[in-house]
Structure 1
Amino acid sequence: MYIKRRTLFIMLLLLVASTSIVTLAAAKFFGQASGTQGSVPQGQDPQKQAAAQDPELAKVYEAYQLIENAALEKQEKAELIDGAIEGMVKTLDDPFSDYMNQKETKDFNSSLQSTFEGIGAEVTLKNERVTIVSPFKGSPAEKAGLRPEDQILKVNGKSLQGLSLSDAVMHIRGPKGTKAELEIMRPGLSDPMLVTVVRDDIPVETVYSETVERNGKKYGKLEITQFSQNTAKHFAAELNKLEKQGINGLIVDVRGNPGGLLDSVVEIGNLLVPNKGVILQVQYSDGKKEVFRSEKGEAKYPVVVLTDKGSASASEILAAALQGSGYKVVGTNSFGKGTVQNTIPLEDDSQLKITVAKWLTPEGNWIHKKGIEPDVKIDQPDYFNAAPLPTKVELGRDMNSSDVKNLQLILKGLGQPPGRTDGYFDSRTETAVKAFQSLHKLPVTGRVDKKTAGVMQEELIKRIQDPKNDLQLQAALEVISRESN
């Protein structure tokens, strides 16, 4: 679907190169950015021309000339220009505005293919730290236990402090099979932890469907992991299959979904938002609004949406659209990304991305930095947020650390209560470890070595992936069961 009127299309940039961002790629902005070259008289310096048109730019040109001619430390012209643009963008104090030079733009565009190599996590800058929005489903990042809100402090010993988002991403990404040792600060932990992620090909599979039963009725469940180019098409196909099975309701799961193309969101909204309802509004800097409405008629069955703090941008648009239509949202507050960016290619194939608008819910609310509040708020079990256990350090009696505290959380989730959860490894924690080791035919030492840690991690993942332990899904089934009566 092509969104006409004020824009050619509004796109949410996705994958690991940046956080999910609603982006306007408008023809008129392209003209402002790069079309001016035709108006510069032949033989005249375009920088002088710009300064003549806007006297305030004369100071910039003067500073450029002084640095180029008089500075002791010489720098290439391109580096000076890049630095000036980066400085201007930085003054916006906006984590979603960014400048990418030619190389960064090329690397970024390569990540927008159907597959790319990396760890498979969406990141943003939050409080000047690289923060995970959400790991992709089945990605190395998810398998390594990374979670939304994890802050990446270092990659293979190199600090990311002070780097732009695009620079930081280039350190995180890498060829398939290489290791990224990440120093992670997780909310609730007092000390950073090391997580090793083996980079891999990251396929963009975006729609997963299944049926679930509750009280003798059949319900469809469609999980959307990203909103990419073919997501709406796949969603429609899977929805059609479910409807042919005679479902009594639909659960749309956008937990951990960092966003994607707005075209996809609007197309999916057309399939789900009833009575030609509003999907979203976009408000521009001049105060004008653009309203996107559904083309769907009456609802066939109830819909429930699942969200969590990893649901960002396009996911929030869909959740807000369905909530505005009277459908229930179940889970926890979403990420809170409500601004719109315009991505403009510059003449030298570099790229500038700046915030130019914000999107609003059907009711006209701005969810930025607040997220969407669910109708039924329910957290997952505590062990869903457990960190991976260390593999380079054994844990044993009388140790006192955040790693031990995390171990106690895992033991509790695995049905082996440690007696305490304050991070001190006492005799009760040791007994719980021994019970686990005995149950899984491991050497009964009471110490958590690399092998025990690995088995614990495997068992924990099994528990997390078991739908019976998914409290949010169970709550959604309860809600849709009542709604379909």
Structure 2
Amino acid sequence: MQVRGRAVAAIVMLSVLASVIVTIFVTDKLEEVPVAASTSVAAAADRGTQLTDDELKQLNTVLDLLQTQYVTEVDRDELIDGAISGMMNALNDPYSVYMEAEVASKFSQSIEGSFSGIGAEVALENGQIVVVSPIKGSPAERGGLLAKDIILSVNGESLTGLTLQEAVNLIRGEKGTKAKLEVMRAGNSEPIAVVLIRDDIDIETVYSRIDENGVGVIEITQFSLNTAERFTEELAALEDKGIMGLVIDVRNNPGGVLQDVVAIAQLMMEQGKVVVQVEDRSGKRDKTFAEGGEKKDYPIVVVTNGGSASASEILAGALQEAAGATVVGEQTYGKGTVQVSFNQLFDDGGLIKMTIAKWLTPNGNWINEKGVTPNVIVEPPAIYSVARLNLTEELKEDQLSEKIRSVQIMLEALGYEVDRTDGYFSANTAEAVRKFQRDHGLKSTGIVDTTTASKLEEKVIAFIRDDANDPQMQKALEIAAGKKQ
């Protein structure tokens, strides 16, 4: 596959957010650009954009002052790293960051798709550490972390006022260690606790299956360096079985490699159709065209939610506007900028990741901070956003809390009658708890203890993973099965 456009467009891999996966994994998969980096630095010098003598004097004065007069001995390397980070922070662009050597090394390793941590991507938005999306099968997903959650503290240490890198340093940790997160979630009146055990995460990015009506389903969890190859294999296997339609699920997919999403999109687009446009600082637009693909003779549906970001939005926008696909679900995240990694600027192994362009849909729409609007909007039920229980004490009648509200929503989703879902533990709620306990061989007390909470969460997880209880997927399957072209 050849991507047309200026040289810089050919080497750029799309970043998901300015973010760092809290495992020190950045989903912004960007290629190494040693030649471009060297050329750009030389060009900058020719334009007189290096520091003047007066500016160098200012910095040296501060450096000397700190090293000789500060109350404690300072680490010179940390001061230099801080100065570089300060310049990047001055851009007020959450997608442009400096990574010191250790973080840069983990960033490079992440391109291979394997890393350790809790498995969630975070970004710094309005001074808050916000979850973009949890990774499928990760501790973050299993523990109930959701897109748009705001992480307030980690193991009792507040994240208020910290930079993204400082917050990541607190959240990350060795496999097997505990990360107790205090999280504020939309719709909750008080923070919730999410307790996760960090783990090694080896990402398989593509999953496929066929439903009973002959509709193929391919889930893409993110766009890594082998995702296009895996998608091509799975699509071919599905087509060999004669699928009647195709559903592509990119919910909670934070994005990734631009080249891979282009390769995937053009498989389902006519030759010469625009896949994506990249606009530089001067307003010049370069278009990437589909090559070697074809418009499919079966309907295509893309399923999205608020955790579908960046490359996921490129795929949804391209197929929606240029391949006649139907987008089903919720408004996407709204990440419409492109970053490039300059990884050979520093002898110590650090790198700079910087915004260099906007990306636009085939029709020229910039979705930044807006997202892709589905053709068919389907909101998920409340059970999908309910907080996990993580009990520290029993829940019983006449109490009022967010955890009780979670219990009520869980019980209702599982088919138990409750008279309210406002967090007040009513007599009716107690009876519903007793019935649940009897149905699952537990002591019928009407009190939610740790055993009852664990069983309740077990059943809820099974409920959520069942496609029959997923209205977004059900609508997508219905559309894909019902419109043979």
What is the match of residue 412 of structure 1? Answer: 412
Structure 2 distance, partners of 1:136, 1:24, is 22
- The residue number in structure 1 matching 2:476 is 476
Whether contact under 8 Å (1:125, 1:165) holds in the other structure is yes
1:335 aligns with 2:333: yes
Match of 2:311 among 284, 297, 314: 314
Dislocated runs of 4+, deviation >6 Å = 36-39
Superposition pairs for residues 210-359 of structure 1, below 5 Å?
A: 210-214=209-213, 218-295=214-291, 296-325=293-322, 326-345=324-343, 346-347=345-346, 348-359=348-359
* 1:76 Cα offset (Å): 3.2
CA distance in structure 1 between the partners assigned to 2:198 and 2:15 by the alignment: 21
Task: Select the structure with the greater relative contact order (CA < 8 A; seq sep ≥ 6).
Answer: 2
Identify the residue that residue 11 of structure 1 maps to in structure 2.
13
Specify the alignment match of 2:136 in structure 1: 137
* CA deviations over 1:104-145 (Å, ceiling 9, x no partner): 222333444332111111211122222111111111111111
Compared with structure 1, are the counterparts of its residues 335 and 26 closer, same or farther at alpha carbon in structure 2 (3 Å cutoff)?
A: same
Mapping of 1:159-174 within 5 angstroms? 159-174=158-173
- Which consecutive residues of structure 2, in runs of 5 or more, have no partner in the other structure? none
Contact 2:318–2:362 (Cα < 8 Å) also in 1: yes
- The answer to whether the 8 Å contact 1:11/1:263 transfers is yes
**1:132, 1:148 within 8 Å by CA — same for their partners in 2?**
yes
Structure 1 window deviating more from structure 2 (293-302 vs 64-73): it is: 64-73
Identity fraction in percent: 44
Q: CA deviation at 1:66?
A: 4.7
Classify the secondary structure of the residue corresponding to 2:314: helix
Of stretches 225-234 and 58-67 in structure 1, the one that deviates more from structure 2 is 58-67
Structure 1 residues 50 and 327: alpha-carbon distance in aligned structure 2, compared to 1, 3 A threshold: closer
Question: What's the CA shift for 1:161?
Answer: 2.1
CA distance in 2, matches of 1:23, 1:116: 16
Q: 1:30 aligns with which of 25, 32, 37?
A: 37
More deviation, 106-115/393-402: 106-115
Contact 2:222 2:253 in 1 (8 A): yes
Q: For the Cα contact (< 8 Å) 2:113–2:224, is it kept in 1?
A: no
Moved more, 199-208 or 70-79: 70-79
Q: What letter matches 1:322 in structure 2?
A: L
Question: TM-score scaled by structure 1?
Answer: 0.91
Q: Structure 2: which amino acid aligns with 1:30?
A: A
Q: CA RMSD in A?
A: 2.5
**1:382 Cα deviation after fit:** 1.2
CA contact (8 A) 1:302 1:484 kept: yes
Q: Paired residue for 1:444?
A: 444
Q: Structure 1 residue 391 and structure 2 residue 391: aligned?
A: yes
**Mapped contact 2:433–2:448 kept (Cα < 8 A):** yes
Whole-angstrom distance in 2 between the partners of 1:389 and 1:78: 44
Aligned partners of 1:24 and 1:340 also within 8 Å: no
Instruction: Please give the secondary structure, in 2, of the residue aligned with 1:424.
Output: coil
Shift of 1:84: 1.7
Match for residue 158 of structure 1?
157
- CA 268–292 in structure 1, closer or farther in 2 if over 3 Å, else same: same
Distance 1:267 1:460, change over 3 A: same
SS of match in other structure, 1:226: coil
Contact residue 388 and residue 457 of structure 1 kept, 8 A: yes
Deviations 1:156-178 (A, max 9, x none): 11222222223322322222222
Range that drifts further, 151-160 or 204-213: 151-160
For 2:275 and 2:69, the matched residues in 1 are separated by 56
* TM-score for both structures, normalised by structure 2: 0.91
Q: In the superposition, relative to structure 1, how do residues 481 and 167 fare at CA in structure 2: closer, same or farther (>3 Å)?
A: same
Kept after mapping to 2: 8 A contact 1:21/1:339 = no
Which digits, 9 at most, give the CA deviation of each residue in 1:244-298, with x for residues without a partner?
Answer: 1111211111111111111110110121123431111011112111111112234
